[in-house]
Amino acid sequence: MSIAISDIKTQELYSPDISEIIAIKRFTEKEKWFEIRLPEGRSLGHQPGQFVQVSLFGAGEAPISVTSSPTKEGSFELCVREVGMLTKIFHNLKVGSTIGIRGPYGKGFDVESFKGKDILIIGGGIGIVPLRSLINYVIDNRKDYGRLIILYGAKTPDELLYPDDLKLWDKSNDIEYHITVDQGTPEWKGNTGVITTLIPGLDLDLPNTITAVVGPPIMYKFVLMSLKTKRIPDKNIYLSLERRMKCGVGKCGHCQINHSYICQDGPVYHYPELKHLQEAI
């Protein structure tokens, strides 16, 4: 193999755009929501399910999913869970602070090909973050899609994200919304139990339903088993994977599973593709 390297146009891959935080909300003890404005209010131009590399000088970079829909213009949103150094520093930033943004990166949900279909969303914990981009996209293009069914599960009621959105989804006649927590509190009136308990009761138009699943690694095994029992064909399932990432552009090797770089071919995968990748789930 020989590549004529002098003919190739190079790309500046590691230079972030310095962007401004224009709004912040705290959702839970661990999660905060940030609204970000790129230079000149440029639009990010992402697909639901894609991520950006957030850059905080001194702390490094971290991949974070875009949680707003591409239909929202002028700014985009992130939701960050505090788990380590970078995310902790991020949480301490104030409105008006600047951060670096690279991206959007990876492959998101192929919303074009979902047109006309019913959309079943299954989000566990922080998995709802990228799914919320898809949900809002479908809501903003409501006539292009069939039913919108949302299953959302969290460990406890205190860990539920997006309180305003949840109220909207709950009230909307156009959205079938089911929520559960692993462990309730005395005030909790809703379902308790893991997210898979919501699946058997669904009445679905099987061949016409696209399922988008995002959650912690352990959730996938159980959800996929339930979906199988429910006879949802594999080809109608999409899921998003998480791995360590350093570059986001297919160079550093950290996110590799088999011959696939998650930052390039994922994070959203069509399930039939993943079945051939050992180590994926």
Partner 1 sequence: MKKYQLNKKQLPSFIDHLKKQGTVFAPHKKGDASYSFAKVVESDSVILEYNRTLNSIKKYFLPPRELLLSYSRKDNSYKKGTIGKEKKIFLGVHSYDMKAVLKLDYNFTEGNPEENYLLRRRNSSFIGVSFIPDEFHFSQSVGMPVHDTDGFDIYLEKNDDGYTVKIITEKGEKLIKEFNGLCDALDISSNHIQFQNKLKYNYNRLPEVFEQSWNAEVWEEVAKRCVGCGTCNLVCPTCYCFDVEDNMDLSLQNGTRDRSWDGCMLNDFAAVAGGENFRKSLADRQRHRIFRKFRYITYITGEPWCVGCGRCTAYCTAGISIVDIVNQLCDEYEQKYLNRPVEQSGLNLEGL
Report residue 31 CA to chain centroid gap.
Answer: 14
b/e map of 62-88 (b: 16 or more CB within 10 Å)? Answer: bbbbbbbbbebeebbbbbbbbeeebbe
Query: Omega before 157 cis (within 30°)?
Result: no
80 binds, among partner 1, ligand FAD, ligand FES, none (CB under 5 to 8 A by kind): ligand FAD
How many other C-beta atoms can be found within 10 angstroms of the C-beta atom of residue 137?
Answer: 24
User: Between 31 and 265, whose beta carbon lies closer to ligand FES?
Assistant: 265
Q: Which two tokens stand for residue 192?
A: 């308790």
| Residues touching ligand FAD, count (CB under 6 A) | 22
CA angle 176, 182, 184 (to 5 degrees): 90
Site string for ligand FAD, 54-83 (x = CB under 6 A): ------x-xxxx-------------xxx-x
51 binds, among ligand FAD, ligand FES, partner 1, none (CB under 5 to 8 A by kind): ligand FAD
Asked if 244 interacts with partner 1 (CB under 8 A), we say yes
| Residues touching ligand FES, count (CB under 6 A) | 12
Asked if 245 interacts with ligand FAD (CB under 6 A), we say yes
User: Between 156 and 264, whose beta carbon lies closer to partner 1?
Assistant: 264
234 vs 6: CA distance, rounded Å: 44
Closest CA to 38 of 74, 78, 2, 67: 74
CA angle 53, 54, 55 (to 5 degrees): 110
Q: Could you list the residues that contact ligand FAD (CB under 6 A)? A: 51, 60, 62-65, 79-81, 83-87, 126, 129, 242-246, 267
Q: Could you list the residues that contact ligand FES (CB under 6 A)? A: 245-248, 250-255, 261, 263
Q: Could you list the residues that contact partner 1 (CB under 8 A)? A: 1-3, 5-6, 8-16, 18, 57-61, 83-84, 87, 98-100, 217, 242-244, 246-247, 249-254, 256-259, 264, 278-279
